[in-house]
Amino acid sequence: MSHASRVLRSEWTKIRTVRATLWTLACALVVTVALGMLVSGLLNHTFDDLSQRERLTFDPTFTSFAGISLGQLAMIAFGILVVSSEYSTGMIRASLTAVPVRGQLLAAKVAVATALALAVGLLTSFAAFLLGQLMLGGHRTDLSAPGVPRAVLGAGLYLGLIALFAMAVSWLLRSPLLSFGVQIPFFFMISSILANVPATEKLGRYLPDQAGSRIMAVVDDGSWPYGPWTGLLIMLAWTAAALLAGYVTLRRRDA
């Protein structure tokens, strides 16, 4: 077995033996699907109460992903735990001793954790879509409709990328308390406020979560300055920049 394979297996063992990391992935799936079904069911029963403009811009696909706003917090927690738990327990010293090439350690952790997050993200997006459409009844759409396959796959990619972004930022902050204290409030409150307050709206819409969420929309209401794929590229750029910063930090700082 090659050294690279051993490093990958080591990272997989670390993740699967820490129950908290697996529980966060399970929470992401359950919360996203359950809340999406609830919102879809409520809209199905109150659709006649919507205004004419709301009916014209109604997006059944995006509605089924209503739970992602909370489910992503579990994905962020997963990303934080994957990285910062090694610093809190001191295991990072053993990891760096076993894998002195720090770039290889980072790449292995990113590869294993991101693959797992993407797998769960795609499972979550398809489950949320199918069950959400079931709850929408006569107002539903299907996977053969234009733009829907892109949105469903994009939702899974979004969840995987948000976990990867959280990992990258956690390499910068290292402390689990600091990582949770910065990232959870930012994505849960600050980002949404910045994107919806007129004075900061233009800036807020270029934040990673706001831009990335565009990939999940099928109906365009004309209020955004860019399309779905551009939004995902903006999120990818944020993630790449955060990963680069995390790599530089890992190389320059001792455990």
pLDDT digits (tens, 9 = 90+) for 94-105: 887 787 788 888
pLDDT at 2: 66
Instruction: Give 16 or 210, the one with higher predicted confidence.
Output: 210
Q: For residue 242, is pLDDT > 60? A: yes
Q: Which residues of 109-119 are buried (b: 16+ CB within 10 A; e: fewer)?
A: bbebbbebbbe
Q: For residue 1, is pLDDT > 60? A: no
174: pLDDT confidence band, cut at 50, 70 and 90? Answer: confident
pLDDT average, residue stretch 228-255? 91
Q: Which of 122, 123, 164, 136 is nearest to 62 (CA)?
A: 136
pLDDT average, residue stretch 204-232? 93
The pTM for the full model equals 0.93
Q: Mean pLDDT across the chain, nearest whole number?
A: 91
Distance CA 182, CA 198 (A): 24
166: pLDDT confidence band, cut at 50, 70 and 90? Answer: very high
pLDDT average, residue stretch 174-181? 90
Domain count, the chain: 1
Instruction: Give 158 or 1, the one with higher predicted confidence.
Output: 158
Instruction: Give 17 or 69, the one with higher predicted confidence.
Output: 69
Distance CA 110, CA 91 (A): 17
pLDDT average, residue stretch 113-136? 96
pLDDT average, residue stretch 209-236? 93
- Expressed as residue numbers, the domain containing 135 is 3-252
Phi (first) and psi of residue 227, to 5 degrees: -95, -175
Structure tokens at 30: 């359950």
DSSP SS3 for 142: coil
53: pLDDT confidence band, cut at 50, 70 and 90? Answer: confident
pLDDT average, residue stretch 167-174? 92
pLDDT at 84: 87
Structure tokens at 102: 């720090």
- Measured N-to-C along each axis, helices 148-173 and 176-185 cross at an angle, to the nearest 10 degrees, of 140
DSSP SS3 for 191: helix
